[in-house]
Amino acid sequence: MRRLRRRTHDVPELNTAALPDLIFTVLFFFMIVTHMRDVERKVEYQVPQGERIERLAHKSSVCYIYIGKPFGAPDDSVRIQLNNRLATVDDIAAFVRAERSKMSPDDASRMTVSIKADRQTPMGVINDVKRALRDVHALNISYSATNEQQTKKK
């Protein structure tokens, strides 16, 4: 009878020479696609609910105005935040001009100002902001809100 010899098969070791290249490639990918937050909020706001919610199409042509009470301030004070600083209604015109100058001509033509206001903000403050925006011809205004159905599900 013939005996069969069993061969022992060794599993070859995994070549890890390309592993650092792969890790750095993935790292660079995430560095490129990750959007870092530019603005640190200095006012707190609760987003109001809305019925017809639409997403903004061109985020590169949007500048944000935050309206709410400053963190740790009494309930009756309302402040406006433009980028990383607290401001007044009189500062809005210069802010819009500066933001418009940073944009490309295409983005500047479709510039939208998104107002992120607390649900308890008095309408007088909102109207003052809208009037200041109208004076610098920033006529595309959106208001941030959450969908009523989304808040009911939670």
Q: Classify residue 20: in a domain, yes or no.
A: no
For 76-85, what is each residue's pLDDT tens digit? 788 899 988 8
Q: What's the total number of domains in the chain?
A: 1
Is this model's pTM higher than 0.75 or not? no
Question: What CATH number corresponds to the domain at position 47?
Answer: 3.30.420.270
- DSSP-assigned beta bridge partners for residue 70: 43
Q: Classify residue 32: in a domain, yes or no.
A: no
Q: Classify residue 141: in a domain, yes or no.
A: yes
- DSSP-assigned beta bridge partners for residue 146: 49
For 85-144, what is each residue's pLDDT tens digit? 889 999 999 999 999 998 888 888 888 898 988 888 889 999 999 999 999 998 888 888
Q: Classify residue 33: in a domain, yes or no.
A: no
Pairing of strands 146-147, 141-143: unpaired
* Residue range(s) defining the domain that contains residue 73: 43-146
Note the helical H segments in 3-153. Answer: 19-33, 92-102, 105-109, 123-135, 148-153
Q: Classify residue 121: in a domain, yes or no.
A: yes
Which residue's entry shows tokens 């920033």? 138
